[in-house]
Amino acid sequence: MSRPERRLVIVVRADPVICGHSVEARNLAEAALLRGFTDVRIVTWPIDRLQAAGLPLKPLDSILPYSPGITVERPEPVGDYKVPDGRYVSGLIGRLVELFTDGVETVALSLYLTPHTIAINDALHVAKQTGLPVNVTTVAEAVGSDVTNVVRNAVAQDRFGAAAHLLASYLSSDHCLAVSQYTKDIIVEAATELDRLHGTNFAAQCIERVGISYPAIDTSAYVNLDPAEVDQRLAARGLERDGYILFLSRLSPAKGVDDLIEAYAGSRAKDKVRLVIAGRGPVEDELHALAAASPVAERITFLHDVDDEEKPFLMAGAAAYSLPSKPLEEFVETFGIALAEKMLAGGGPVITTLTGGIGEAVGHCALIHEPGDVEQLRAHLDHAICDLSDEERAADEIRARTFALQFDRQVILDRILDRLELPEADVVDLQA
């Protein structure tokens, strides 16, 4: 007897976008196969549109395959040059309408409210108007840039309609989630300001309805790595275990790489280890120039082609991992997925700030400095590299990994499904 059909649709900026939430979408999709979903769809943007948007992208040949049962769809735009914008969103909506009108029990999850939640809501409205069978539960997960880049700007510019549109779309979902308590707090803060200015009632609804769902991580990709393979992969990069401080994230102003280069150049640690800066982003050229002008330029290595498969090994081999994130108007770290991944992989300690939601990602398992404080950062680099004993490093590694295991993708998906109160589905053993 065949299992009843159950579908998960995730609407997101997916691979090849370099973003923790594109990785989260992959992880939730993979976890769904083990929780009885017979059809998993990631509905995203055409490659050429992502390239034209200027987003940092992985090399196309580095994208890892998805498991059988997961389909990635990239709907083509609708209309021609006479439609100046919205053509790609129309393509998304049209495909979602088709998925929503076959009667299959479907959970539709959006990561990023703009425009993904809006697309799901529009598609569901149309689907219900068709008279065809519709069985869809909607889940909207807000990330920090939804607020910092859209709602907060709209409120600051007194663009009431734009802010109200986003918040109303969010709250019209069956279930509303935020990727951290910090993210929920800034949503409520923006909604409160909108209410104060215009007499709306968004803040109370956000306080009551928005739950917390931390990003989902494939913990199996980071724990129990083969030490021999770690050494082999490091050697291919000309690196040695515990021979470098690692930064691995997007190269943007808010990540604080400029502070890291300055702190490293004046540290004692520079005489013991290299600095490896891995990632892509809008300030690549500026950071290369800054490093080239440093008195320790020959000790700084840039890697712009690290893929998801190699990332855990670089993290595991690092003597320390630094993410000196700082809050800027255009971006605030809302969780810090890379920090949790590093804690799972092992190796030396994490050095970071408490910007945004980072504290929720690291707990009490990191060396913390004030954002932008180069002297504090330098002191932590020296402590991690020059002062910690092997016993202290081992104890810190175990504590950090134990904390980060709570972000396992299966745990996170189960918590989301528990909120939905859906009928129980069979748990699938894909190894059988």
- The residue whose two tokens read 């300690």 is 349
Sheet arrangement for strand 39-43? 70-73, 39-43, 6-11, 105-111, 136-142, 175-178, 210-212
CA angle 365, 369, 371 (to 5 degrees): 125
Distance CA 427, CA 36 (A): 5
* Element of type H or E holding 264: helix 257-265
What are the tokens at 106? Answer: 């479907």
pLDDT of residue 154: 78
Q: What is the pLDDT of residues 126-147, one digit of tens each?
A: 999 999 999 999 999 998 677 6
Distance CA 307, CA 310 (A): 6
Distance CA 18, CA 29 (A): 17
Per-residue pLDDT of the chain (432 residues; tens, 9 = 90+): 455 699 999 999 999 988 888 999 999 999 999 999 999 999 999 999 999 988 888 888 888 899 999 999 999 999 887 777 789 999 999 999 999 999 999 999 999 898 999 999 999 999 999 999 999 999 999 986 776 667 777 777 888 898 899 999 999 999 999 999 999 998 999 899 999 999 999 999 999 999 999 999 999 999 999 999 999 999 999 999 999 999 999 999 999 999 999 999 999 999 999 999 999 889 999 999 999 999 999 999 999 989 889 999 999 999 999 999 999 877 888 899 999 999 999 999 999 999 999 999 999 999 999 999 999 999 999 999 999 999 999 999 999 999 999 999 999 999 999 998 765 544 444 333
Q: How many residues can be counted in the chain?
A: 432
Comparing CA positions, the residue from 329, 228, 239 lying closest to residue 278 is 239
- Angle, helices 337-345/390-404, rounded to nearest 10 degrees: 130
By percentage, how much of the chain surpasses pLDDT 90?
79
What are the tokens at 245? Answer: 């401080």
Q: What is the pTM of this model?
A: 0.90
Three-state secondary-structure class, residue 389: coil
Q: What is the pLDDT of residues 260-302, one digit of tens each?
A: 999 999 999 999 999 999 998 899 999 999 999 999 999 999 9
Q: What is the pLDDT of residues 236-264, one digit of tens each?
A: 999 999 999 999 999 999 999 999 999 99
The pairing of beta strand 320-323 with beta strand 244-248: parallel
